[in-house]
Structure 1
């Protein structure tokens, strides 16, 4: 929670001026004046403090890697000013979480945790490319880099499908690797079906369903995977 707060607050603070002009982000707290910049900086400091305190209570490896994680979730926000690959930087920022949780519990970083982080990186990076499609006009006007701006919306959507297919495959492999019961694979099938549905909603010439309730299934997917993984482990 601490490092996520730091990363999200830093992202909002660093992009506060351009967020005013982007229709997708104009209603965020800083552009609308609901929060002041100094308040967001304060939130960043609180998040950092909570994160380091929590890491210190866990184990040596967690504390040793805490500065790396904290730095990365701040620095990744600058990527879109320099490279169209910024979506992959964001994906890896979110992918820190499963490996960090694994380290917190076990005190070590195992290959299974790395594979789970790859799943998250591909999953989240793919969705960030999709949202980049919605921002393409803004990115062109203000000189922000993105995959859709560099390669076009059609190529971006194809790439997202490949990334999500790879993510789903890695998630399936993880179930076999950890020798989980059939409950896990039921959850996997439901989650992947919802993911495929989300991808099918968007066309290169029609992104209107991006704000459709059907495209908000990620929270449902997360809960499905959590529920069926718990069943697979406990039953």
Structure 2
């Protein structure tokens, strides 16, 4: 039993499950908006709640597992990453591959039970999720690709309920893309010198810290703009617009914290961004209710 608990702890450390808080609120935002449109109720049912959550968790497990597997050669010499279970031997190559493929299979099977569009799109989605790790080896657009990976979540939520892709879900998705790409640039500031040494293509390693902060600010401005357009397109109430404003304030403080002290990047990355998604979801929920 002790060994099993340790395995679960190692898996949790591998995939950093608490980071699911970044994508899950936006999946559920899309699902409650879609349900309100089609059912005149924010509740989309227990079946879709369970299937949607399983899809989100398995997709993220696949993406994180693939990232850790493909980045082993990069992580082993990075002091920040050298103690990861995928690097220090706690989770072996075979077990990691099994974890990746079993989550891919779960994702596809669950998507099949949602609807046909979800099923057929599950394959290119897995391809996109798995491609992220390669981009940092040849393009600084890796930050945007990561944004796309999480930005697919609102579209997936809308598809689960509506079986088609509405415009408002694309706008919400674009907001998530630029939000994630922006905070990933901030997070990459920690590895700026290491990325230069290894020849990796992060925006901080290519353009430096000052330019990276500007690009991040631009991305987050676009994120707020797209979220405003989403609220307008989905015909949401005043509370949703307040949620967008609060999100903008959170992003402002995130930049302020990082500009003052790069050692507080973790605080800005984990705490503030975690709160942002949840707060945005709550205000959209109130606006629909």
- Aligned ranges 1:106-125 → 2 under 5 Å: 106-125=162-181
**CA deviation vs aligned residue, 1:52-103 (integer Å, no higher than 9, x gap):** 1111111111111111001111112100111122111111111111111111
**Compared with structure 1, are the counterparts of its residues 47 and 141 closer, same or farther at alpha carbon in structure 2 (3 Å cutoff)?**
same
Structure 1 gaps of 5+ residues are none
**CA deviation vs aligned residue, 1:105-137 (integer Å, no higher than 9, x gap):** 110011111111101110001111112221111
The separation in 2 between residues aligned to 1:119 and 1:191, in whole angstroms, is 11
1:73 is aligned to 129
* Superposed CA RMSD: 1.6
- Displacement of 1:22 in angstroms is 1.6
Q: Which residue of 278, 284, 289 corresponds with 1:223?
A: 278
SS at match of 2:136: helix
SS at match of 1:108: coil
Q: Which residue of 72, 78, 90 corresponds with 1:34?
A: 90
| Contact kept? 1:88, 1:125, Cα under 8 Å | yes
- Displacement of 1:215 in angstroms is 6.1
**Compared with structure 1, are the counterparts of its residues 229 and 5 closer, same or farther at alpha carbon in structure 2 (3 Å cutoff)?**
same
The separation in 1 between residues aligned to 2:269 and 2:166, in whole angstroms, is 35
The separation in 2 between residues aligned to 1:212 and 1:132, in whole angstroms, is 14
| Contact kept? 2:187, 2:266, Cα under 8 Å | no
Moved more, 191-200 or 181-190: 181-190
The separation in 1 between residues aligned to 2:209 and 2:224, in whole angstroms, is 22
1:209 is aligned to 264
Q: Which residue of 117, 140, 159 corresponds with 1:103?
A: 159
Q: Which residue of 82, 88, 100 corresponds with 2:138?
A: 82
**1:154 counterpart = 2:246:** no
The separation in 1 between residues aligned to 2:153 and 2:208, in whole angstroms, is 31
| Contact kept? 1:90, 1:124, Cα under 8 Å | yes
Q: Tell me the TM-score normalized by structure 2.
A: 0.77
Q: Tell me the TM-score normalized by structure 1.
A: 0.94
**1:143 counterpart = 2:195:** no
**1:192 counterpart = 2:248:** yes
